Amino acid sequence: MKQNIELLVNKIIREAKISSSPINAERLAESYFGLDFDCGKLNETELAGLKVTEKKIYINESRADELAANIGLKNFTIAHELGHWALHRDLTGEHTPQIEREADKFATYLLMPENFVRAEFAKFNEHRLLEWLPTDMKVSSLADTFRVSYTAMKIRLSQWELNLIYVDFKSGKCYLSKEEFLEITTGQIRLF
């Protein structure tokens, strides 16, 4: 399924003629998917929700300020709802953890397409000064460029064999493993 979601997202990116970062999920929702936005009362644990029959993404009114103050969180939240629209709009019933994971994957691929991120990452090595940036600053810089959270970018980078990320001798920062890099202590980490 993972591969299929990424292929689907890449097709959407091509069809929507997106050629540079950052990818604005809100704009894409309106221009490509034909979805509208509204505010409403939702469960406190939810930031937003999709109402398929109305073709609307509802932002939880009690958490709207939180989203407005955090562009990375907002972009990912909307992209997650776009994932539900693209993948699950014909499903009925409860949203299972698997469905939520699929929507998170959709959002990850949509906001941080592999070729876009790799191209930006390569820029660090093209500039002598940037090459010496500590790894954490590279992650921060990419997160800003793509308008996603630091953690979301870290997870995305960890999906590829970018050795610089794990072991950065030049800055003195050395990550011994992917787990240490991601700061995983127990169980699963959250995307934001």
Binding site for Zn ion (CB under 5 A): 100, 103
- H or E element in which residue 50 lies: strand 48-51
165 Cβ partners below 8 Å, 6+ apart?
135, 138, 139, 157, 158, 175, 181
Which residues are CB-contacts of 144 (< 8 A; sequence separation ≥ 6)? none
Q: Which is nearer to Zn ion, 77 or 151 (CB)?
A: 77
Q: For residues 192 and 189, give the distance between their C-alpha atoms in angstroms, rounded to a whole number.
A: 9
Question: Residue 18 or 87: which CB sits closer to Zn ion?
Answer: 87
Q: How far is the CB of 88 from Zn ion (least distance, A)?
A: 9
Least Å distance between CB 104 and Zn ion?
Answer: 8
Nearest distance in Å: CB 18, Zn ion: 23
Closest distance to Zn ion from the beta carbon of 78 (Å): 11
Q: Which is nearer to Zn ion, 20 or 43 (CB)?
A: 43
Q: How far apart are CA 104 and CA 109, in angstroms?
A: 9
Asked if 72 and 107 count as a contact pair (C-beta separation under 8 A), the reply is no
Q: With respect to Zn ion, which residue has the nearer C-beta, 100 or 144?
A: 100
Query: Which of 114, 106, 113, 112 has the alpha carbon at shortest distance from 50?
Result: 106
